[in-house]
Chains A and B, each alone.
Chain A
Amino acid sequence: MAAATSFARPSTRPDEIHNLLTGVERYNPQKISVLEDYLAHQCANPDPNTNHDLMANLALLKMYQFNPPMMDLDVIRRILAKALISTSQGDFNLCLYLLSDDICKDMSIAKLLVLRDYLEKAQFDGFWSEMYGNDDDDEESVVDGIAGFDNGLRKLILAEITSTYQTIQAKLIGKMVNLDEEAVLRLAKEHGWDVDAAGVVSLPLKSENEAKTTVIKESIKFDQLTKILCAANDI
Chain B
Amino acid sequence: MYQENYEDEFVGNIDVVADTYANVNEIEDGEMEDEELLMQQAQAGVQAIPEQVRRFLGHLYRNLKNSTVNDLAYNYENQFVRLSDKYYAKAPWPEPQFVAALVGDDGLFLTLYRELYYRHIYSRLHPSLETRFRSFENYCDLFNYILNSDGPIELELPNQWLWDIVDEFIYQFQSYCSHRSRVAKRSPEEIELLKENSQVWNTYSVLNVLYSLIQKSNINQQLLVSREGGDVIEAAGEFGTRPLYKMLGYFSIIGLVRVHCMLGDYTLALQTLENIDLGNSRGLFTRVTACHVTIYYYVGFAYMMMGRYADAMQAFVHILTFVTRTKHYHQRSLQYDTVNKKAEQMYALLAISVSLSPSRVDDLIQTQVREKYGDQLHKLQRSGGGDEAISVLTELYRYACPKFIMPNPPNYDELEAAVEAMEPQDYQLKCFLREACLQLVVPTLRSFLKLYNTMGLEQLSTFLDIDAAELRNQLMVYKQRCRQVRCTSGTDLLNGEVTPTTDLDFALQDNLIIIAESRVGRRYADWFIRNANKMQDLINNLENRQKAAIAGAGKPNGEEAAATTTAAA
Contact = CB atoms under 8 A, between A and B. Distances in A.
Interface stretch (A32-40, A78-86, A162-170, A182-190): A162-170
A224 to B, nearest CB: 6
Interface of B: 203-204, 207, 211, 263-268, 271, 305-308, 406-408, 421-422, 424, 426-428, 430-431, 434-435, 438, 470, 472-477, 479-480, 483, 485, 494-498, 505-510, 514-521, 523-526, 529, 532-533, 536
Contacts of B473: 121-124
A209 B494 contact: no
Given A90-B308, A210-B507, A68 B268 contact: no
Contact of A217 (B421, B517, B521): B521
Contacts of B267: 7, 54-55, 58, 94
B407 A215 contact: no
A164 B475 contact: yes
B265 A62 contact: yes
Interface string A96-137: 111011100000000000000100111110000000000000
Nearest to A1: B498
B523 A218 contact: yes
Contacts of A117: 434
Given A4-B496, A8-B495, A123-B473, A228 B532 contact: yes
B421 A102 contact: yes
Interface in A46-63: 54-55, 58, 62
Closest 5 CB pairs of A and B: A211-B507, A101-B422, A97-B264, A122-B476, A122-B473
A228 B421 contact: no
Range class of the A interface residue count: 35 or more
Given A66-B408, A96-B431, A225-B529, A160 B476 contact: yes
Interface of A: 4-5, 7-8, 24, 27, 54-55, 58, 62, 65-66, 68, 88-90, 93-94, 96-98, 100-102, 117, 120-124, 160-161, 163-169, 200, 208-218, 220, 224-225, 227-228, 231
Given A88-B485, A121-B438, A211-B506, A228 B520 contact: no
Contacts of B203: 66
5 contacts: A5-B495, A97-B428, A211-B516, A218-B524, A224-B526
Contacts of B495: 5, 7-8
A132 to B, nearest CB: 19
A53 to B, nearest CB: 12
Contacts of B508: 164-168
Contacts of A54: 267
